[in-house]
Amino acid sequence: MANHMTQTSSQTDNYKAELSESIEQLYQMFAKYPLDPAMDGSPVYQKLMLDRWNQTLAAKPLRELSVEDLTTYHFKAMTTWGGVNDFKHFLPRLFELLSELPMDFDEWVTLDKLNYGNYKNWPDNEKTVIHRFLLAFWKKLLTEESADIDAGFAGYFSAIANVYSDFGQLLQIWLAADKQCSSYRLAAFVSGAQKKVLEKQVLPGYEDMPQQGKLFREWLRSPAVLNKLKQTVPSAAAPYIDWELIPVIRQLEQGL
């Protein structure tokens, strides 16, 4: 068990290389899906508007499309603009940009497109590279010192939990992460979602997740996780987090 924990921690520390490699694998895997420069859209869109949107996406190579170029598409993909194969064409760039934590990308919307496109029925090799990306991105969120991650962590965690097939693996990696910021982000998440997580036993997101919520609460009550919470120290972003955790820990320990 100790060797496994050490291995997982070491893997977490290598998140930059893993993330870079996983993004390149996405480009390679989904390169077989070509750009359609005339994607269909909902009939509510005027033709001139749809033509302009399509022209924007076709004006640059995929890897050079910016957040601004893709903002409209990332909201409308498959629901009212283009189909599944079109989304697969843009997926590598969408996920690469998402991993850079852009202000104008909604993390839940971007990742939930996988569920909308029924990705769990996609070919196994496509699912494999997507899972590699999600795990590498998750490790970045647990490891990198960043005020942007601190501010948006709850949203990213929920968005990944909503699509990744093995929620327990996400929690295992979180427990093994030994950077102080991973403990702080755990404490801040639990403190901020105390009522939903501890009382309603759901994981909050755009849509509450009861199955993940029950697993999360059980995981929180394990001795190793309780210890991780108790070792959390205040930070500039949350100077009173240790005091805020007192009722959380007390509630978790009830009945143990």
The CA distance from 96 to 24, in Å, is 9
Q: What are the beta bridge partners of residue 99?
A: none
Mean pLDDT (whole number) for 52-67: 98
> Residue 158: which pLDDT band, with cuts at 50, 70 and 90?
very high
Whether 99 and 156 share a structural domain: yes
DSSP string computed for 143-182: H---HHHHHHHHHHHHHHHHH-S-HHHHHHHHHH--SHHH
Which parts of the chain fold into alpha helices (H)?
A: 2-13, 15-30, 47-58, 67-76, 84-98, 107-116, 124-143, 147-163, 167-176, 180-192, 194, 210-220, 223-230, 241-253
Q: Report the chain's mean pLDDT, rounded to a whole number.
A: 92
Whether 132 and 236 share a structural domain: no
Whether 157 and 213 share a structural domain: no
The per-residue pLDDT for 8 is 46
> Residue 242: which pLDDT band, with cuts at 50, 70 and 90?
confident
**pTM of structure:** 0.91
HSE-up of residue 40 (Cα within 13 Å, Cβ side) = 7
Which domain range does residue 121 map to? 2-178
The CA distance from 146 to 13, in Å, is 15
- Residues 92, 62: contact at Cβ < 8 Å? yes
> Residue 241: which pLDDT band, with cuts at 50, 70 and 90?
confident
- Residues 230, 250: contact at Cβ < 8 Å? no
> Among residues 149, 178, 207, which one ends one of the domains?
178
Neighbour count for residue 115 (Cβ, 10 Å): 11
Report the range of poorest mean pLDDT among 2-6, 31-35, 112-116, 221-225. 2-6
The per-residue pLDDT for 255 is 61
* 7 pLDDT more than 60: no
Whether 143 and 211 share a structural domain: no
Whether 88 and 149 share a structural domain: yes
Angle formed by the axes of helices 147-163 and 167-176, nearest 10°: 150
Whether 173 and 185 share a structural domain: no
- Residues 208, 196: contact at Cβ < 8 Å? yes
Mean pLDDT (whole number) for 93-118: 97
The per-residue pLDDT for 236 is 73
> Residue 243: which pLDDT band, with cuts at 50, 70 and 90?
confident
* 168 pLDDT more than 60: yes
> Among residues 140, 155, 178, which one ends one of the domains?
178
The per-residue pLDDT for 112 is 98
> Among residues 148, 178, 208, which one ends one of the domains?
178
Total of domains in the chain: 2
Q: Any idea of the CA torsion for 149, 97, 33, 116, to the nearest 10 degrees?
A: 40
72-97 pLDDT, tens digit per residue, is 999 999 999 999 999 999 999 999 99
Whether 90 and 211 share a structural domain: no
The per-residue pLDDT for 55 is 98
* More confident call, 240 vs 50: 50
The per-residue pLDDT for 256 is 55
The per-residue pLDDT for 13 is 58
Whether 49 and 143 share a structural domain: yes
> Residue 5: which pLDDT band, with cuts at 50, 70 and 90?
very low
